Amino acid sequence: MGFFITLIIFIIVIIFIFSSKTLSPIPYFPSQSIDIPLIVKALNLKNNQTVIDLGAGDGIVIFKAAQQSYKQKLNTKFVAVEINPVLILILYLRRLFHPNKDNITIICDDIFKMNFSSYPRCTDAACRVSTIFYLYISPWFLEKTIKNLKLRIKNFDVVSYMYPIKSLNNNEEIINGKNK
């Protein structure tokens, strides 16, 4: 009986966390695993680059990209930003066993309020862009996120999964997988 009550309480806490506007303002939907190779290809991994996954969820993209970077012996840094404490725990557990864990940083923060200026950037004149953001967030949050990034970062690229970013359409390249 005690186990059953504990399980019910645990389930209620998880439901509360995932339905709380403060602890999980953007719904959790993992990127489709069938599209992960295309997403990693779109990130165009390079040396001295930072890949930031805003709303990283369970980290499926960031960990696959970090694995690819490790195989290619690239010095690419990866940052997983998430606000949901359950997903943060999953990210830390996955990072613990990842071969490229030294290049993966996990941050518990609100993507609309965080300061990106402390992340490393390429200062070499040959580098056009050293920061790439991966976004798979609700379409009604995309423009707000891009506006926030433009206020804080001079040059960056964006890989958006499934939803187009209207303010960046002039530079868009569409890759078709299960989703765009």
Quickly state the pLDDT bin for 6 (edges 50, 70, 90).
confident
- pTM (2 d.p.): 0.79
Quickly state the pLDDT bin for 172 (edges 50, 70, 90).
low
Lowest mean pLDDT among 1-15, 78-92, 96-110, 144-158: 1-15
* Per-residue model confidence as pLDDT tens digits over 14-73: 666 655 566 555 666 678 889 999 999 999 999 989 999 998 989 999 999 999 999 999
* Per-residue model confidence as pLDDT tens digits over 108-159: 988 878 876 655 554 444 444 588 999 988 888 888 888 888 877 777 889 9
Of the candidates 161, 171, 156, 146, the one whose C-alpha atom is nearest the C-alpha of residue 39 is 161
Q: Given this model, what pLDDT does residue 8 score?
A: 74
Compare 174 and 39 and report the one with higher pLDDT: 39
User: What six digits make up the tokens of 154?
Assistant: 């001079």
Q: Which residues pair with 107 in a beta bridge?
A: 81
Ramachandran angles phi, psi of 71, nearest 5°:
-65, -35
Residues in the chain: 180
